[in-house]
Structure 1
Amino acid sequence: PFLVSISPFHLLQQNRNISLSFSLFRETSHPRNDHHKLYTNIFDLSYDTLVTALSSAGFAHVDIIIGQIGWPTDGAVNANSSMAETFMKGFLVHLRGKSGTPLRPHDPPKEAYILSLLDEDQRSIADGSFERHWGIFTFDGQAKYQVDLAEGSRHLVNAQNVEYHSAKWCVVNNNKDLSNASVSALEACSVADCSALSPGGSCYNLSWPGNISYAFNSYYQQHDQ
């Protein structure tokens, strides 16, 4: 089989001609016409692009496995739990329907692997801060949203009896000299995870010096201080 990574979110970020509805399996009234084939979602269009390439290379009937697919929940515009839930539910319903794609009707991918179980706070963010937020669970094992994976339980189960440290935060002292605070915060973020502060992120609207406090708290937490 041929393994492929398909990322509708990346395609949405990179191509202004792709609509959010088309990416989230919600485009039903205005399908895309590509060489006389109608597409209602970006997954099928991406999949059939691969089918065409494989056919041109002489592998028209090779099995295809989706090596990773998902939707991030933070770190960018359109990256949040609500949209991730919409995408994953739409994808799984589409997959279970076994309708396949226009070029491979009734022949869906043999397998598909979700990206990912948990967020990765040290993952490279060269492509965007959202790269650290693909998990369907938070770091402490709590489901970010509900989706039916059809593996026994019909819903995601949160981790139980998680032990937490006491909730303590460091807050910027406005009575101190803060002239170098922004530079210091950037240094802290370089060895911590400040992806939620990125444009479109869940903490992007934090005003100064709240974002400074966030940066240093992230640093302290990741360095067990």
Structure 2
Amino acid sequence: MAVAERRKLNGGAGTLFFPAWVPVPAVLLLVVLVGGGGGIRGAEGFVGIYWGRYATQSLVPSVVVDLLQQNGLTEIRLSAPSVNVMEALQSSSLGVTVAIQSDFIRRMKWNNIRTIDDWVAELLVVPIKRGVKIKTLVVLEEPYLTAAGRIPINNATDVFKEAVASLENHGMSHVRTTTIQSPDILKIVKKPSESDFRDEYKAKMLEYLNLYNRTNNSFYMYNLYPLTSLVDNNWPLEFAFMDNNSSFSVVDGPYTYTNIFEFLFDALVVAIEKAGFPDMEIVVGEIGFPTDGGKYATPENAERFHRGFLKHIVQKKGTPRRPNMNIDVFLGTLLDENKYPLLLGPYRRHRGIYNFDGVPKFKIDFSGQGRDIYPSTAKGIVKMPSRWCIFNGDMSNATKVEEQMQFACATSDCTPLYPHSTCSNLNHTWNVSYAFNVYYQSNNQELDNGACDFSGLGVLTPFDPSTGACQFPVEILTAEKVDGGIQLLNYVGYGSGPRGTTYSIALSFFVIFLSMVLL
């Protein structure tokens, strides 16, 4: 076995603590702890968290930083750097992972606006000098994913090489590098031993593995979506959990798989081994369990999944093919993302451990000890006035009602109305009401802009129409409006803030709040 390959497995040069800073409007939280000595990175499996921000509103970054620290989390992964998020991290001890987004690469190529070196110099080097502890640079996330109309980045490995060279030129070679890969790169198999990279991706994956092996501090990062794999393979629900209470298992030669995580992880291990890199370090870039939006997606199942999974990771149990080994993982996501692309699955909008208002949806012990506790709740959250927009019941023009409902759902999140979801049992009148209300709330209850008009079909009520598990939300009073996670290209430099759709609106919200309270 090559020495370089052994170094990969052992995590390279030991634990890294480096600062970093990056501005842009999509955010994502991730954690990478590199352990030294013998074992795979650290005395215990490392657990970090991803903060996805594909949402109409998001918690103030300083509140999120405080929330993570309250819960004892030490690492955060962001899908793109944003000015206000980086400023909040600047005074914290959190380790940070940020990503160069595919959107940036496409626009750079089309408009010749920036180079990779520009990105590194302005969005990584400067933040590091300001005190942000950037440990890892993710050079593109799932670049070959074609679902939801995405265009693959066919020159992704070239982008990776440019980024590594830029880090070295700026004296930042201590920053780890990787690219997050999608589960779609693997063939669908009945047993992990049959696994391999899909033919159309095999050459690219081999090139990546060679790059990781030659590059100091690089590793393989992979997203896992247990519920998607469970449904796609028609496996029983019990296979999703570490404490599988059924007789279902997958026997693969000397290995027996009783849960989906070990199956999916070892399927990647086999594919990488077949490519000639048996000791390549693998980090899970995102894993979790949704609470709504589809079959099996419930808070109860999410709680059970995380309890067993975290205990397994912290106890360093590894997998059948990599037993008794540390596996670094990033839970995903911190909060729900109501603007996440629907074509990737409606439940993907409900992967958050927390509701949009910073209240936990289920019990989870981030330490992995399995304690029956809720995590800390976000502090200082203020909701907008307790007002809901509902359908007035006028069905004299059914076509107009349907059109207005479709209009509301086109730009806001109606996934709780989907089959097997929390609001799927509502009658038609309340389906329309739910759609009207989520549109009204996602538009910050702005009556002047007709957020509760719907061609005269909408009406305000001070009475909460929520029923059972179906909650009609009230928006939070936030200090920023998220742009959906798309990286801004007209960024004007650190300290001056980005121009575009991410901006401070605290004062305007406060005025709205007072005016409505005084009505």
Q: What's the TM-score once normalised by structure 2's chain length?
A: 0.41
Aligned to 2:437: 217
The alpha-carbon deviation at position 200 of structure 1 amounts to: 1.1
Aligned to 2:318: 100
Which whole-Å deviations, capped at 9, do the CAs of 1:181-221 have from their partners, x for residues lacking one? 12220121001111111111111111111000110111111
SS at 2:284's partner residue?
strand
Within a 5 Å distance, the mapping from 1:151-170 to structure 2 comes to 155-170=374-389
Moved >6 Å (runs of 4+): none
Aligned residues: 222
Query: Is the CA contact (8 Å cut-off) linking 1:4 and 1:67 kept in structure 2?
Result: yes
Which whole-Å deviations, capped at 9, do the CAs of 1:109-135 have from their partners, x for residues lacking one? 1x1001010111111010221111111
| Aligned equivalent of 1:21, options 232, 238, 254 | 238
In 2, the alpha carbon distance for the partners of 1:61 and 1:129 equals: 36
In 1, the alpha carbon distance for the partners of 2:228 and 2:411 equals: 25
In 1, the alpha carbon distance for the partners of 2:394 and 2:331 equals: 48
The alpha-carbon deviation at position 165 of structure 1 amounts to: 2.1
| Aligned equivalent of 1:139, options 340, 352, 356 | 356
Query: Is the CA contact (8 Å cut-off) linking 1:27 and 1:40 kept in structure 2?
Result: yes
In 2, the alpha carbon distance for the partners of 1:27 and 1:191 equals: 39
Is 1:192 the equivalent of 2:412? yes
Query: Is the CA contact (8 Å cut-off) linking 2:336 and 2:350 kept in structure 1?
Result: yes
Aligned to 1:64: 282
Task: Structure 2 unaligned segments of length 5 or more: list them.
Answer: 1-218, 447-519
Q: 1:145 to 1:112 in 2, by over 3 A?
A: same
| Aligned equivalent of 1:171, options 385, 390, 393 | 390
Aligned to 1:113: 330
In 2, the alpha carbon distance for the partners of 1:211 and 1:36 equals: 52
The alpha-carbon deviation at position 106 of structure 1 amounts to: 0.8
The alpha-carbon deviation at position 155 of structure 1 amounts to: 4.6
In 2, the alpha carbon distance for the partners of 1:73 and 1:145 equals: 9
The alpha-carbon deviation at position 170 of structure 1 amounts to: 2.3
Is 1:8 the equivalent of 2:231? no
| Aligned equivalent of 1:124, options 327, 341, 349 | 341
Rg larger for: 2
SS at 1:210's partner residue?
helix
Query: Is the CA contact (8 Å cut-off) linking 1:28 and 1:40 kept in structure 2?
Result: no
RMSD between aligned residues: 1.8
Task: Structure 1 unaligned segments of length 5 or more: list them.
Answer: none
The alpha-carbon deviation at position 175 of structure 1 amounts to: 4.3
In 1, the alpha carbon distance for the partners of 2:384 and 2:221 equals: 41
Aligned to 1:74: 292
The alpha-carbon deviation at position 171 of structure 1 amounts to: 2.5
| Aligned equivalent of 1:149, options 366, 376, 393 | 366
Percentage identity across paired residues of the two chains: 35
